[in-house]
Amino acid sequence: MKDLPTSLFPALLVGLPVLFATLSLFFRTRGKALVGLTGCLLTAGLSLIAFVEVTQRGTVIHILGGWEPPLGILLRMDSLAAVFIGMTALVGVFISLYAWRYFRAQEAATGGFPLFWPLWLFLWAGLNGLFLSNDLFNLFVTIEVIGICAVALAVLSGKSGALFAGLRYLLAAITGSMAYLFGVALLYGSTGTLDLGLLGQVLEPGTTTTFALLVITLGLMIKMAGFPFHFWLPPAHSSALAPVSALLSALVVKGAFYILLRLWMEVFGVSLTYAAGQLIGLAGAVAVIWGSWQAFMQTSLKLIVAHSSVAQLGYLLMIFPLLILAPGVTAGSADWLSSAWTAGVYQVMSHAFAKASFFLSAGIIIMALGHDRIESLRDLVGHMRITALAIGIAGVSLIGLPPSGGFIAKWMLLKGIFLSGQWWWAPVVLGGSLLTAGYVFMLLRLAFAPAREKEPFRPVPKSLEVCALLLALGSFLIVLPADYLIQFLESSEIFGSGIESIVEGGADGND
Amino acid sequence: METYQIYSLTSAVLFVIGIGGVFASRHFIKKIIATIIMGGGVFLCFVSFAERDALSFADPVPHALVITGIVVAVASAAFALALARRIYQLTGEESFTNDK
């Protein structure tokens, strides 16, 4: 690990947003927004430069302050981290531009929510830190930074509904991180190290390891709103301000998934069994069906979008049963591993773009109508053509129709499912898509239907609609560099790896 | 039974009490206290592992981690209390109800 090329970028990716967040605290309303937006643009630019650096030099590391691990902190940026950081930057920059215009337009009535900017920058620093972390404790600190910033952002509007949802979210987040930390304590107690790479080598199967796996998975499932711990997500995401909802569902929940993926594949290989993979896959499958069905039953736009997040996160959990091989199958002969990994990464990216666009569109509609009951979407096409187009495009990506990013994700997932012979997951993927099509087409039908009575559509800045549309288009454009991106990801050690089961049966109860 | 085993077992009991409390109780303050108890269990577990390999001195790493963990836990608890207080001021409610 220490002989990899060093680069300053990993440190800058965490340091720069923290610097601008702190700086913005010294300014008043307008200044805060200006400094905040500058910080966002610079961080996004830096992330993209760092991405290019990794494509050229391969995995880079940074040892903070020259203190080598185990005393110091080592940041590692491999291609998987680079892709997540690049995605955060692209989605983040559009949401930042939207937020700037959105808060400006409402400044007179609400004061412009200046605290959004430092909180969002701290959140961004936390996310970058999470993707770059290489030890268990550092991951704990970053998920805490992310959790507290996310809750603070969710309650920014100060309304009682948002506060209730925020407190519930915060309690779930604290419980999740304490369970995670308990697992970290057990792992440190049994191995004496926190480094992910080293843990993967020295960890031995046994009761302690299984218990640690159990509590860590429990904690991260609570944090990523995996079924049955999704209860906090719909109220928290739907009651937040529009740019915040977009951040929370596009980026924040992906952080916990990233840790779960890294830990399962890099650390816990020895104590994972085929049954554990099937069980977490089952949690994902139930989430897909239940979340889509709930979304279908809602009558307000933001609640539809929030419940659909539960379902789309379920797809992410469904790649785990494909990555944990049945007894007797070797990683070399399992030709579906690459498909499953591609499905996971593309699901994360297409959901981030499409869901951010969806929530931003919902914000525009609330701005125009004052509420988001879906009945009022009637004649949306006549009044706000761009927003209607954005909802349509993002919806198509969520359903997984070609040629969207969502299509690649679901296609690759199905390919992996059939190649691995685990056919029982296929109806879930197809059924989930069908239900998703149900609520997306329901929205589109209303958008094209003639209005029953004249409802006043207040004018909304065009730039807001353009931001939402660009994000929706982004969920399609990520398909273009697919070949290149997968080739790049394969340079990461973890991408395309699978876990070979040694013992048959055994551990269970991992959700 | 060795001393550190007593600590480890106590920590597991505290953790379970805490996690049960978080899910079972409805009152804001009870839930917050439950998370603090959970935290106490986790920190105790960390510290009990500091006495490893019969060293003559304690392993310093768990202590450093626990200090950081306590800071984080205090901050989260303070934030949760602030939210609970604000909800009480706005609505007069002090516990979660099913429809909220």
Domains in chain B: boundaries: 6-91
Secondary structure of residue A273 in the 3-state scheme: coil
- In this complex, is the C-beta atom of A482 within 8 Å of any C-beta atom belonging to chain B? no
Instruction: Find residues 80-99 of chain B whose CB sits inside 8 Å of chain A.
Output: 80, 83-84, 86-87, 90-91, 96
- Please enumerate in sequence order all residues whose Cβ is within 8 A of that of A159, keeping only pairs 6 or more positions apart, or say none: A239
Put simply, whether A152 touches B (Cβ < 8 Å) is yes
Helix A116-132, helix A136-154: angle, nearest 10: 160
Of chain B, the percentage scoring pLDDT greater than 90 comes to 58
Using pLDDT thresholds of 50, 70 and 90, give the confidence band for residue A475.
Answer: very high
Cβ atoms within 10 A of the Cβ of A231, count?
Answer: 14
Query: How confident is the model over A5-28, as pLDDT tens digits?
Result: 888 999 999 999 999 999 999 998
Please check whether residue A405 is in contact with residue A478, taking contact to mean a CB–CB distance below 8 angstroms. Answer: yes
Mean per-residue pLDDT, A279-287: 94
Distances, alpha carbon A18 to alpha carbons A30, A94, A378, in Å: 19, 20, 43
Separation between Cα atoms, residue A448 and residue A438, nearest integer Å: 16
**Parent domain of A375:** 284-511
| Residue predicted with more confidence, A349 or A325 | A349
pLDDT at position A502 is 61
The chain-wide mean pLDDT, for chain B, equals: 87
Residue A175: list chain B partners with CB under 8 A: 19, 22, 35, 38
Task: Indicate yes or no: CB of A186 within 8 angstroms of CB of B68.
Answer: no
The pTM (predicted TM-score) of the whole model is 0.94
Contacts of A185 in chain B (CB under 8 A): 42, 45-46, 49, 62
Structure tokens at A154: 């969710």
Position A74 in a domain: no
Q: How many CB atoms lie within 10 A of CB A322?
A: 26
In a domain, A312, yes or no: yes
CA A453 to chain centre: 39
Q: Look at residue A509 in the predicted model and tell me its pLDDT.
A: 43
Q: How many CB pairs under 8 A join A and B?
A: 94
Neighbours of A48 (CB within 10 A): 15
Q: Please tell me the predicted confidence (pLDDT) of residue A325.
A: 85
Domain assignment present for A437 = yes
Give the CB-side neighbour count of residue A140, counting CA atoms within 13 A: 29
Q: How far apart are CA A164 and CA A61, in angstroms?
A: 41
Residue A354 forms part of a structural domain = yes
A159 to chain B: nearest residue by CA? B90
DSSP label of A325: E
The answer to whether B72 contacts A151, with C-beta atoms less than 8 Å apart, is no
Q: Is residue A391 part of a domain?
A: yes
Which of A443-452, A454-463, B46-55 shows the lowest per-residue confidence on average (mean pLDDT)?
B46-55
- B19, B31, B42 ranked by CB distance to A181: nearest: B42
Contact B38 A170 (CB under 8 A): no
Q: Provide the pLDDT for residue A499.
A: 83
Task: Give the per-residue pLDDT at A332.
Answer: 75
The DSSP bridge partners found for residue B95 are B27
pLDDT tens for each residue of A388-430: 999 999 999 999 998 899 999 999 999 999 998 899 999 999 9
**Closest Cα in chain A, distance from residue B3 (Å):** 15
Which of B28, B29, B38, B42 has the highest number of chain A CBs within 10 A, making it the mutation to test binding with A? B42
**Does A435 fall in a domain?**
yes
Average pLDDT over residues A265-293: 91
| A103 backbone dihedrals φ, ψ, rounded to 5° | -70, -35
Distance in angstroms (rounded) separating the CA atoms of residues A313 and A227: 9
For B6-91, CATH gives 1.10.287.3510
> How many domains is chain A partitioned into structurally?
1
Please give the average per-residue pLDDT across A376-385, as a whole number.
85
Give the Cα separation of A410 and A500 in Å (integer).
Answer: 24
Residue A215 lies in a domain: no
pLDDT band at B52 (very low <50, low <70, confident <90, very high): low
Region of residue A421 (phi > 0: left; psi between -120 and 50: alpha; otherwise: beta): left
Q: Is the ipTM of this complex over 0.85?
A: yes
C-alpha angle A332-A202-A188 in degrees, rounded to nearest 5: 130
Does A109 map to a domain?
no
User: If you average pLDDT over residues A30-49, what whole number do you get?
Assistant: 94
Contact (CB, 8 A) for B28 and B55: no
